C-alpha cells in the first residue's frame, strides 16, 4: 500500500511539472540583466553558444547577458573577427565585463575554442552545430570545447530542442538527464523525491519522476527553484506544486 501511494505521489508531481513545462515561454529560460540580451541569445546562435560554453557556476542572469556585453564592447559579435583575436585580447575583453564568469581565467580559452570550432568546421554559422546533425554529434562538439563537460553538453541539447524547435531523431530521451544546480537540487529535495541536495540524488530523482525523458522536467524544476522554492523561506502558496508538495524540506 505504501509503495502504491508513493508511486501515485510521484505521478502527481510529474504531471504538475510536465504541465508547467508546456506553459514555459522560451524567453523564460534566458533570464538576463538587460532585455536586449535575451533577444540576442534567442536570435543569434553564436551568442547562444558563447553563453552555453561559459555556463559554469555563474548566475544565469550573468551568463546569458555576457554575449550582449561583448557586443557592446566590440561593436559586433562576428565569429570571424573574434576568431582572429589572441587569448590575451580576449582576456582583456573579459576584464572589462560589468559582471564576469566564475572562471575568469578560463573564459578566453573557452571563447576561442568554441569560436574556432564554429569558424573552422561550420563556416562561421553556429546554427550548423545542430542543423541536420545527431544529438550525439552535437554533444561531442560542445564537449570538444575547453571546460565543457557532459552536464553542459546535455543542457545545450535540451535548450536547442526548446529554443530552436529542433527534435533530435537519434536521441533516446530516457538517457537525457537534468543538469543539476542549486535550484533543481533544492526543489527535488523539498519535494521528498531526492534524499539529499546533491547531483547524484537529483539526477536519480528526475529519472524516477519522468523516466521516459528525465531532462524534460529540468526547466520547470529550475524555474520553480528560482521563483518560488527559494532558499530560506519558500513562497509555497504561490508555487505551482503547492498541491502536491509534502513540504518536508529542511530549509
Here the cell at position 69 is: 556585453
Q: Tell me the CA end-to-end span of the chain in Å, nearest whole number.
A: 30
pLDDT at 214: 93
- Reported in sequence order, the residue ranges of the chain that DSSP labels E, i.e. its strands, are none
pLDDT at 168: 87
pLDDT at 4: 55
pLDDT at 249: 45
Planar angle of CA 197, 176, 30, nearest 5 degrees: 75
Going from the C-alpha of 228 to that of each of 6, 14, 130, 196, 232, the distances in angstroms are 24, 17, 33, 19, 11
Planar angle of CA 220, 224, 227, nearest 5 degrees: 135
Residue with cell 509555497: 236
Here the cell at position 165 is: 524547435
Whether the predicted model's global pTM rises above the 0.85 cut: no
Q: Please tell me the distance from the alpha carbon of residue 239 to that of residue 150, in angstroms, as a whole number.
A: 30
Q: From its phi and psi, is residue 130 left (phi > 0), alpha (psi between -120 and 50) or beta? A: alpha
Contact yes or no for 224/218 (Cβ under 8 A): no
pLDDT (tens digit per residue) in 3-13: 555 677 899 99
Q: State which residues of the chain have pLDDT below 50.
A: 1-2, 249-251
2 burial level (CB within 10 Å; 0-12, 13-18, 19+): exposed
Task: State CA 94 to chain mean position distance.
Answer: 21
Residue with cell 553542459: 152
Here the cell at position 92 is: 582583456
Catalogue all structural domains in the chain, each as residue range(s) with its CATH number: 2-25+175-238 (1.10.1670), 31-171 (1.10.340.30)
Q: Please tell me the distance from the alpha carbon of residue 200 to that of residue 197, in angstroms, as a whole number.
A: 9
Q: From its phi and psi, is residue 21 left (phi > 0), alpha (psi between -120 and 50) or beta? A: alpha
pLDDT at 250: 43
Amino acid at each position: 500500500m505504501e509503495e502504491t501511494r508513493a508511486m501515485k505521489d510521484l505521478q502527481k508531481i510529474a504531471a504538475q511539472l510536465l504541465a508547467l513545462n508546456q506553459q514555459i515561454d522560451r524567453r523564460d529560460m534566458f533570464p538576463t540583466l538587460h532585455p536586449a540580451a535575451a533577444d540576442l541569445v534567442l536570435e543569434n546562435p553564436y551568442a547562444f553558444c558563447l553563453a552555453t560554453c561559459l555556463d559554469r557556476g555563474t548566475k544565469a542572469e550573468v551568463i546569458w547577458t555576457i554575449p550582449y556585453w561583448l557586443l557592446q564592447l566590440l561593436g559586433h559579435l562576428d565569429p570571424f573577427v573574434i576568431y582572429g583575436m589572441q587569448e590575451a585580447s580576449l582576456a582583456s575583453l573579459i576584464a572589462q565585463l560589468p559582471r564576469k564568469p566564475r572562471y575568469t581565467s578560463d573564459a578566453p580559452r573557452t571563447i576561442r575554442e568554441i569560436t574556432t570550432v564554429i569558424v573552422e568546421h561550420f563556416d562561421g554559422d553556429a546554427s550548423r552545430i545542430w542543423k541536420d546533425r545527431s544529438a550525439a554529434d552535437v554533444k561531442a562538439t560542445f564537449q570538444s570545447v575547453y571546460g565543457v563537460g557532459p552536464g553542459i553538453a546535455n543542457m545545450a541539447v535540451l535548450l536547442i530542442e526548446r529554443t530552436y524547435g529542433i527534435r533530435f531523431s537519434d536521441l533516446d530521451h530516457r538517457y537525457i538527464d537534468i543538469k543539476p544546480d542549486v535550484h533543481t537540487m533544492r526543489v527535488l529535495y523539498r519535494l521528498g523525491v531526492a534524499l539529499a541536495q546533491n547531483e547524484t540524488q537529483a539526477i536519480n530523482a528526475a529519472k524516477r519522476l519522468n523516466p521516459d525523458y528525465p531532462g524534460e522536467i529540468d526547466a520547470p524544476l529550475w524555474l520553480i527553484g528560482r521563483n518560488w522554492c527559494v532558499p530560506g523561506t519558500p513562497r509555497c502558496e504561490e508555487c505551482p506544486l503547492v498541491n502536491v508538495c509534502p513540504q518536508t524540506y529542511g530549509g
